[in-house]
Amino acid sequence: MNHKTTNPMLNRIAFIGNYMPRRCGIATFTTDLCEAIATAYNGTTCIALPVNDTDDGYAYPPRVRFELIEKDIESYRRAADFLNINNVDLVSLQFEYGIFGGQAGSHILELLRELRMPIVTTLHTILREPDPDQRRVLEAVTGLSDRLVVMSERGSEFLKEIYRTSPEKIAVIPHGIPDIPFLDPSFHKDLFGVEGKIVLLSFGLLSANKGIENVIAALPAIVECYPNIVYLILGATHPHVIQNEGESYRLSLQWLAHEKR
């Protein structure tokens, strides 16, 4: 590996991760990040390399120049060649175990090891108790990256204490949200009939790894202390969950909520 000339003028940045119109949080994040940088630095060419989880792929916008096939390790090697040949100055990787092929997403290492430019990796999951494969892969990703972006101080501490990462590599950048006009929350509370109540909110695609069932199970004890609390869950079931399990997870949440009333 020889990445490692730093160009003060970044002419081309490549973003690796899921990309819209694929429906998942990483796709939204990668797309928003890529578009924001392209808008802020109009002299820089921003390209995207999404990961496909279906044979048909997606109807991507023109910014997508190369598509990775999730479980095909050769596509990761071809992607590295593509990036090196096209004089990319910087790679922005969105790392999440579940979006790359191999044990704990290990296929991405085949790509990273061949790159000849700096790598900035945003870590979307940092586990306190990783299994051996998860630890091995994340330590390899951090070792191959020139900079690491985490979204909380807790994530930074995990990297230093659990994964033995150099503090100089780590930057804490909190997860952002779109800049939209402020609206009085009372308006939306009234729409849902929860005006005057304390509202807990979970939103996004539903899957078991988000622990929504744990919140529902804990609600009776919470209500004893805070009788005016209400828990709202907004979001469709994750496409992978639908594909593998149908709506069984959503139905299990409904059953649990009914049981705990």
For residues 172 and 69, what is the distance between their CA atoms, to the nearest angstrom?
30
Whole-prediction pTM value? 0.80
Question: What is the pLDDT at residue 8?
Answer: 58
Taking alpha carbons only, the member of 196, 177, 174 closest to residue 185 is: 196
- Where along the chain do the CATH 3.40.50.2000 domains lie? 12-172, 185-259
- Nearest one of 94, 105, 99 to 136, comparing CA atoms: 105
Query: At the top level of CATH, which class does the domain 12-172 belong to?
Result: alpha beta
Q: What is the pLDDT of residue 240?
A: 75
pLDDT tens, per residue, the chain with 261 residues: 455 554 557 899 999 999 999 988 899 999 999 999 999 999 999 999 999 998 888 999 999 999 999 999 999 999 999 999 999 999 999 999 989 999 999 999 999 999 999 999 999 999 999 999 999 999 999 999 999 999 999 999 999 999 999 999 999 999 877 777 887 878 778 888 888 899 998 888 888 878 899 999 999 999 999 999 999 998 888 887 887 888 888 899 999 998 888
The pLDDT, as a whole number, for residue 181 is 84
pLDDT score at 238: 80
Reading the block at residue 239, the tokens are 């496409």
Q: Is residue 239 helix, strand or coil? A: helix
Q: Write down the pLDDT at residue 208.
A: 81
Pick the closest to residue 155 from 131, 174, 140, 136 (CA basis).
174
| Predicted pLDDT at 180 | 79
Res 29: pLDDT: 94
What was the pLDDT predicted at 126?
A: 95
Q: Which CATH number applies to 185-259?
A: 3.40.50.2000
Residue 3 confidence (pLDDT): 53
